[in-house]
Amino acid sequence: MTLPELADVWVELDGTVRHGARAQALVEHAPDLVRLLAPDDATPLVIRAITAEGLLRLAVAGLGGVQGVAVAALFGLADGMGGQPLGVRREHAAAVLGLTGWALQKPARRDGLVLGLAVEVCRVLHAVRNDQHRP
């Protein structure tokens, strides 16, 4: 399994914010992210979306602290945030960070959270790949 480029992960995650990162939303609105994170074409897309959601949850947990809580809310992975509109998720994430929803709409703030998640996703993928190659 080759690791995706950080820039590709970041771009796909950035597009995923709008609809969230639960498996159903990934199937409907972000199949390219699923293909990037779980590239096994022999497995049905919905199963790979479930795998991708799990990987994203591991990455969010790896962020930890308020950044992890905010990212979980922004991507709809926090309890009660699944299926919520982006505005609600953004307001919740902003409140965790001590910001307003408007401030979190600014590219510098939002991009920092998305990039942090992208880096953590790549770290988790690297760890998974290394575990698969151990005897």
Residue 78 DSSP label: S
Tens digit of pLDDT at every position of the chain (135 positions): 688 999 999 999 999 999 999 999 999 999 999 999 998 879 999 999 999 999 999 999 999 999 999 999 999 999 999 999 999 999 999 999 999 999 999 998 999 999 999 999 999 999 988 876 555
Residue 3 DSSP label: P
Domains of the chain, by residue range, sit at 6-132
Question: How far is the C-alpha of 84 from the C-alpha of 122, rounded, in Å?
Answer: 27
Residue 24 zone, left/alpha/beta (φ > 0; ψ -120 to 50; rest): alpha
Encoded amino acid at 66, one letter: V
- The torsion angles phi and psi of 81, rounded to 5 degrees, stand at -100, -15
